[in-house]
Amino acid sequence: MNTIKHIGILSSGGDAPGMNAAIRAVVRTAIYHGLQVSGIYRGYQGLVDNSINTMHSSSVSNIIQSGGTLLKTARCRDFLNKAGREKARQNLQEHGIDALVVIGGDGTFRGAKVFGDEFGFPVIGIPGTIDNDLYGTDNTIGYDTALNTIVNAVDKIRDTATAHNRLFFIEVMGREAGFLALSGGIASGAEVVLVPEIEDDYKQLHDFLKSGYKKGKNSSIVLVSEGDEIGGALRIAENVENTYPEYDVRVTILGHLQRGGAPSAYDRVSASRMGVSAVNALLDGKAGIMVGLVNHCIAHTSFGDALKHKKPLNAHLLEIMKILSI
Ligand code: ADP
């Protein structure tokens, strides 16, 4: 028989639009099943500092449309050592919390795994990061919103690039993964994308620069993933300017605006599905897993597997990018 009566919920690591929708889903599903639910502020730091409050259905009213996270987020050094995690365990015990749902990226899940293994404490993860770099889910919460933000920005830059016949290098987020750059490139009709996963993409850039000028293109957009091995849009643009003086080169770094804004409908629905499923999984006696979406269905992946595997870029999307940018 399942003994879970009181769930704690926190968001941790980098924020992502849609985290609020996931928090709302967890809180309301817990209440629906007659459980108590508490919000932990500032991620694992709130666990260590005992910053924990009871949540009600009304605590999550009117947040589904907001970016950021109601519970705040943080990076917590204390949680990296056993003494910090022991403090966290004591605080959870004091509040009578017997299970945790954590929303975050791979770092958050690393912490969740260590904590769960150390104390036999049930923890379920919900993937929340704009980078989409988690194995075991097709989309992470926030990715779709960030993608739409990128496409809106690139569309605007395309207007001015065309007016002046310019070549723009636009740097997007993604850490060591090129999901935002690749899908953003396809959706905005970029001429080239530079992603960390593809080693010879710099050659593709040179090929394009040679042929694009001859074709008389009146604007060119190159999306650069921040983790690209060549080293950022500014550096690449500088090299290109030196090698191809015929191009009028500009650089835009989209930066943190990719993290904010109202979550897209897709992110809100995904976050709601994952939030409901996370509580249901705990009630089914599951622990140490991430709840994701694979082929539009809820899928459970152990923290161990989610952390061990690197999610590859979709080969079909890479091919589409190549074909459509000629
Ligand atoms: P994200 O979840 O966005 O990847 P971070 O990598 O910053 O964000 O991780 C969030 C937090 O998870 C860290 O600040 C730390 O408190 C915790 N964490 C990360 N790795 C570990 C680990 N190996 N052991 C314990 N806690 C960890």
15 is catalytic: no
Question: What is the distance between the alpha carbons of residues 218 and 207, in angstroms, rounded to a whole number?
Answer: 17
Structural domains of the chain in order of their starting residue, each with its CATH number: 6-142+263-308 (3.40.50.450), 144-259 (3.40.50.460)
Q: Whose CA is nearest to atom 20 of ligand 1?
A: 107
Distance separating alpha carbons of residues 230 and 42, to the nearest angstrom: 35
CA of 247 to the centre of ligand 1 (A): 43
pTM over 0.75, yes/no: yes
Side by side, which strands form the sheet with 99-104? 52-54, 36-40, 6-11, 99-104, 123-127, 289-294, 297-302
- For ligand 1, the distance from its centroid to the CA atom of residue 203, given in whole angstroms, is 36
Ligand 1 pocket, mutate which of 19, 45, 48, 75 (most atoms under 8 A from CB): 75
CA distances, 32 to each of 24, 27, 40, 161, 287 (Å): 12, 9, 20, 52, 20
- One digit per residue, the tens of pLDDT, for the chain of length 326 reads 568 999 999 999 999 999 999 999 999 999 999 999 999 999 999 999 999 999 999 999 999 999 999 999 999 999 999 999 999 999 999 999 999 999 999 999 999 999 999 999 999 999 999 999 999 999 999 999 999 999 999 999 999 999 999 999 999 999 999 999 999 999 999 999 999 999 888 888 999 998 866 677 788 999 999 988 778 999 999 999 999 999 999 999 999 999 999 999 999 999 999 999 999 999 999 999 999 999 999 999 999 999 999 999 999 999 999 999 87
